[in-house]
């Protein structure tokens, strides 16, 4: 299978979610990703031990296809090995606070002295400049600071925010995209560069239209639940269905769509009420309409109701759970978004592939996530050419964690 990044080597210092997901995208396209790990990360999500309660699923998903080595970056010997790996790499990736890499003597200026055309990806909460550049952050706090959390929820409730670290996923995609752009530029000019990714800015970039409205009208957009801020139809929302936590999203904009919706659900008496005579009046009485629509959906199986409405030309979709997506969705199954790879013990692990397909270089997951330090000999002997005597000296000097 063709791999667009075959021949590219990435030295990966990243951990947790945002950084590993960025380098996983590169790995799927054939880049050789050498993951530098530490026993100090055992207790965090995605940490080195793939069989720990926290590390199991995330590690296999975000680190599939990579190699793992263990270095003790608190020792001179560990730092020297890291510098030798920089010299044979194309990309160095890290997602620490701004103090870590300079503390190792491996900021961009430091690694550029080792390899002038190196590309360095630095991913942090707030970027490497500005008054907040040295602050440590987490996904949920970044989402709040970006403004994203304030938009999620209903008008009469507190902000809810996404259930997971959405900013990590967004930051990871931004980081991978930036590396690809830098590789294209290097192929043309022979020059590397430093990539400064702010996860907060990556999140804020998703809210562009809201910022535009504030600058144009002075309106501070408020939470609206499932309804659109502009041109929202009615009914428009997620409606409870039969069963435990089963919901159906329905959107009706035009009078023709309303007629199709009414016919599909059996033309109940309330649908002929004067309050719902046209799109404008339905929007005015949207709260009343929502209750009546839910009186119908609450008696329906979500999937059956979705197919019924779609057949009538009405936009409708089941609000899927993780189990629905991974096990029950026929479209995702056909597309192969979730598939299994074997870990080092031969146990099959379900992970996700990239959400795109390239016709010439489709890429693939080359293997499961590595066990902690599993590729120590391969990286040191085959890539760096370290002999037995030198290896023993490094071990005595504390290079390995």
Q: Tell me which residues are annotated as active site.
A: 168
| Bond preceding residue 386 cis, omega within 30 of 0 | no
Q: Return the DSSP state at 143.
A: H
Rounded CA-CA distance 267/83 in Å is 72
Rounded CA-CA distance 61/21 in Å is 8
Largest CA distance in the chain: 89
Rounded CA-CA distance 226/229 in Å is 9
| Residue 248: CA count within 13 A, CB half-sphere | 28
Rounded CA-CA distance 279/253 in Å is 7
DSSP E strands, 219-371: 236-240, 247-251, 315-318, 338-342, 348-352
Rounded CA-CA distance 73/83 in Å is 11
- Could you tell me if 118 and 91 are in contact, meaning their C-beta atoms sit under 8 angstroms apart? yes
- Could you tell me if 50 and 371 are in contact, meaning their C-beta atoms sit under 8 angstroms apart? yes
Rounded CA-CA distance 170/151 in Å is 17
Picking from 7, 54, 71, the residue whose alpha carbon sits closest to that of residue 33 is: 7
């Amino acid at each position: 299978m063709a791999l667009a990044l075959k021949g590219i080597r990435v030295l990966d210092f990243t951990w947790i979610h945002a950084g590993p997901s960025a380098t996983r995208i590169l790995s799927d396209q054939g880049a050789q990703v050498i993951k530098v790990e530490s026993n100090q990360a055992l207790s965090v999500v995605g940490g080195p031990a793939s069989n720990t309660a926290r590390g199991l699923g995330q590690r296999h998903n975000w680190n599939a296809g990579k190699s793992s080595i263990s270095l003790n970056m608190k020792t001179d010997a560990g730092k020297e090995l890291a510098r030798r790996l920089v010299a044979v790499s194309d990309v160095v990736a890290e997602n620490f606070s701004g103090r870590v890499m300079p503390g190792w003597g491996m900021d961009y200026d430091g690694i550029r002295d080792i390899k002038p055309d190196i590309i360095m990806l630095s991913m942090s909460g707030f970027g490497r400049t500005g008054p907040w550049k040295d602050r440590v952050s987490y996904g949920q706090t970044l989402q709040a600071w970006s403004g994203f959390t304030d938009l999620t929820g209903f008008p009469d409730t507190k902000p809810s925010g996404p259930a997971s670290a959405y900013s990590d996923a967004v930051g990871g995609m931004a980081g991978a995209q930036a590396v690809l752009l830098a590789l294209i530029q290097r192929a043309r000019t022979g020059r590397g560069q430093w990539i400064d990714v702010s996860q907060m800015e990556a999140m804020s970039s998703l809210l562009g239209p809201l910022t535009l409205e504030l600058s144009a009208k002075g309106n501070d957009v408020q939470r609206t639940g499932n309804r659109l801020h502009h041109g929202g139809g009615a009914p428009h929302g997620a409606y409870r269905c039969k069963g435990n936590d089963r919901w159906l999203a329905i959107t009706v904009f035009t009078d023709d769509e309303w007629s199709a919706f009414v016919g599909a659900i059996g033309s109940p008496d309330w649908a002929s009420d004067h309050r719902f005579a046209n799109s404008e009046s339905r929007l005015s009485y949207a709260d009343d309409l929502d209750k009546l629509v839910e009186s119908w959906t609450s008696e329906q199986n979500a999937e059956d109701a979705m197919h019924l409405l779609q057949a009538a030309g009405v936009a409708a979709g089941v609000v899927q759970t993780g189990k629905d997506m991974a096990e029950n969705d026929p479209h995702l199954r056909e597309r192969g978004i979730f598939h299994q790879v074997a870990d080092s013990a031969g146990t099959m692990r379900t992970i996700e592939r990239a959400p795109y397909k390239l016709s010439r270089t489709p890429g693939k997951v080359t293997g499961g996530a590595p066990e902690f330090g599993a590729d120590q000999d391969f990286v040191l002997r085959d890539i760096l050419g370290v002999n037995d005597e030198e290896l023993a000296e490094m071990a005595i000097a504390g290079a390995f964690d």
